[in-house]
Amino acid sequence: MYKLPKSEIEEIQRKRLRQIVKYLYENSSFYRNKLRGIDIDEIRSKEDLRKIPFTTKDDIRDNYPFGLICVDFSKIVRFHASSGTTGNPTVVAYTIQDIENWSELCKRCLEIVDVNSNDVVQIAYGYGLFTGGLGFHYGAERLGAKVIPASTGNTKRQIKLMKDLGTTVICCTPSYGLYLAEVAKEEGINPKRDLKLKAGIFGAEPWSENTRRKLEENFVENAYDIYGMSELNGPGVAMECKFKNGLHIWEDHYIVEIIDPNTGEVLEPEEKGEMVVTTLTKEAMPLLRYRTRDITILNDDPCDCGLNHARIMRILGRTDDMLKIRGVCVFPSQIEEIIMKTNGLSPHYQLVADREGVMDKLIVRVEVAEDFKTDRLTDLVNIQNKLEEELKDALGINAVIELVEPKKIPRSEGKAQRIVDLRKIRGLL
């Protein structure tokens, strides 16, 4: 059904775009206002979208909780929410049809990496207001797979379940995947030998190719990246295929544009910028030109897997995760890539930004690998120097490297806290 020629996908997009703009004009006072002065009959293609102003996270928060809902309240069947650090959470409403579409997209994501009804799918994303758990749950069930709704936490039990129930697919954050592998080893289980994990589907935080390598060496046969956010349904907006070279975005349900986050100008394919998404099929709370704050690149080249849905490259980071150190923009995923290339280091790290006088300072705190044994101080100094040089070369920043003992960086069962910005805490930003 979704394995369509490009021309058909584009035809569906045009038709659905016209419908959704008309629908919003008729059913949403928020969008009627936003579309004021625009002839909605003129919005027929992706290019025409540029006439419409962006929708932002603040728009959703400012209209909290029900201001963007376009259907009669009786048609709402579910709410999800993502927590903000300040103010109102971002609340998203769903109709039965929304849940139906979302489940279908999650099913597709599993299907393109060969998950099928024989698989045992353990979902170690949070169940609750966060969309991770329930999104995968519905998708996997729709596929006919056997679902273990493990949710987050209780790491030893997760490993026991994997072993006893023969889990073949694990869904969780990449940092939790690494942690599960670590705890399994402590429990005397070698995941690659003693478990049957053919695939891991990792999302909800940006990660790197080197993390993939670690996950595939120590935990699962194949590690895949998935993308989504509650405003756009939840997980399942885009997913890597078996070729692991970008995430196919389901273009019959979403239109993607990449913009310069500072000027709002639409960029050419292959240019790095903020992803802006228009939802084509959402019913309760469709969004036009929603600024995701995620930084990526759009690639519309044909993929070897035969799917004609365009791909987004791995998310580099979020515009709000971006650390600005002495004017240079740095994403944790870029630093992670370098840490993982350096021998003797573990994938567990934290970035601490601070200011001394007027100068920004970046501390990269990283654990020494557990299997790295030395009693010579010079070995450690060499690692420190190497990492320092690599960071300088690749990112153009001077960082202070702090090597710490294994297991000194706090572990998280959900998203890892990679950044501690003391400048913010001290009110300097």
Helix (H) or strand (E) holding 237: strand 234-240
Q: Which is nearer to Zn ion, 248 or 291 (CB)?
A: 248
The CA-based angle 384-386-390, given to 5 degrees, is: 120
Q: Which is nearer to Zn ion, 298 or 307 (CB)?
A: 307
Q: Which is nearer to Zn ion, 306 or 327 (CB)?
A: 306
Least Cβ distance, residue 288 to Zn ion (angstroms): 28
Q: Which is nearer to Zn ion, 162 or 256 (CB)?
A: 256
Which DSSP symbol is given to 405? -
Least Cβ distance, residue 244 to Zn ion (angstroms): 9
Q: Rounded to 5 degrees, what are φ and ψ at 326? A: 45, 45
Q: What is the CA radius of gyration of the chain?
A: 22
Q: Which is nearer to Zn ion, 186 or 301 (CB)?
A: 301
CA 232 from centre of chain: 12
Spell out the alpha helix ranges (H) of 53-173. Answer: 57-62, 96-111, 131-143, 155-165
How far is 364 from 220, CA to CA, in rounded Å? 28
Which DSSP symbol is given to 301? S
Least Cβ distance, residue 250 to Zn ion (angstroms): 12
Least Cβ distance, residue 137 to Zn ion (angstroms): 25
Point out which residues bind Zn ion (CB under 5 A): 241, 303, 305, 307
Strands 399-404 and 359-368: parallel
How far is 83 from 129, CA to CA, in rounded Å? 9
Q: Rounded to 5 degrees, what are φ and ψ at 38? A: -110, 130
Least Cβ distance, residue 239 to Zn ion (angstroms): 9
Q: Which is nearer to Zn ion, 92 or 238 (CB)?
A: 238
Q: Which is nearer to Zn ion, 247 or 277 (CB)?
A: 247
Could you tell me the CA-to-CA distances from 139 to 121, 199, 347, 415 in Å, in that order? 11, 16, 30, 22
Q: Residue type for 5, please?
A: P
Least Cβ distance, residue 241 to Zn ion (angstroms): 3
User: Closest by alpha carbon to 131, among 223, 225, 208, 237?
Assistant: 237
Least Cβ distance, residue 185 to Zn ion (angstroms): 33
